[in-house]
């Protein structure tokens, strides 16, 4: 029974990922590059708001659960395409932070708009009460998954 629930959960998550991939349309970014761009944007935003957060290549790799070589390649590709730039840390000259360029912000805004447009209609049909319940449950599940993953890493 538990194995069937896990398989059903994984199947549903994969189907959601495929739906989001389908609405990407003509976006020329591979999924890994898009994920890195989103991560860089979020971490940069949080840094600017004063949180103790970094957007270095190693931080991005750790946050995404990717290897340093794979992340370095993604970062290089994003930089060559003009979506990100490196900024020297004001606290440590050896550290380079990653930041979105205007071109990077524009493509990310377009991608986020497409996703939000899809979800707006879906959540409206799903209903406010169910949506709140789902978000609460997903938040709880995510916290548990993160704790379990950390315990497995130790």
Largest Cα separation within the chain, whole Å, is: 54
With a cut of 70, say whether residue 29 has pLDDT above it. Answer: yes
Strands 96-100 and 84-88: antiparallel
Instruction: Average the pLDDT over each of 8-12, 26-30, 42-46 and give the range with the smallest value.
Output: 26-30
Is the model more confident about 129 or about 95? 129
Give mean pLDDT, residues 109-137: 90
For 112-139, b/e burial (b = at least 16 CB within 10 A) is: eeeeeeeeeeeeeeeeeeeeeeeeeeee
Please name which of 109, 87, 84 lies closest in space to residue 96, comparing C-alpha atoms. Answer: 87
Give mean pLDDT, residues 111-138: 90
* pLDDT 10s digits, 12-28: 988 888 887 777 655 67
pTM for the structure as a whole: 0.66
pLDDT at residue 118, as a whole number: 85
Q: How far apart are CA 17 and CA 23, in angstroms?
A: 10
Mark residue 86 as left, alpha or beta (left: phi above 0; alpha: psi -120 to 50; beta: remaining).
Answer: beta
Give mean pLDDT, residues 39-47: 80
Question: How does the average pLDDT of the chain come out, rounded?
Answer: 85
With a cut of 70, say whether residue 153 has pLDDT above it. Answer: yes
């Amino acid at each position: 029974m538990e194995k069937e629930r896990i398989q059903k959960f994984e199947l549903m998550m994969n189907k959601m990922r495929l739906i989001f991939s389908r609405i990407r349309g003509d976006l020329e970014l591979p999924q890994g590059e898009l994920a890195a761009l989103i991560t860089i944007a979020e971490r940069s935003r949080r840094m600017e708001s004063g949180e103790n957060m970094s957007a270095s290549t190693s931080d991005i790799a750790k946050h995404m659960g990717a290897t340093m070589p794979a992340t370095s390649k993604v970062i290089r590709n994003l930089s060559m395409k003009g979506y990100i730039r490196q900024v020297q840390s004001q606290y440590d000259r050896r550290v380079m932070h990653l930041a979105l360029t205007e071109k990077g912000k524009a493509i990310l805004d377009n991608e986020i708009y497409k996703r939000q447009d899809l979800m707006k209609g879906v959540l409206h049909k799903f209903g406010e009460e169910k949506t709140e319940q789902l978000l609460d449950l997903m938040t709880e599940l995510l916290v548990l998954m993160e704790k379990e993953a950390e315990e497995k890493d130790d």
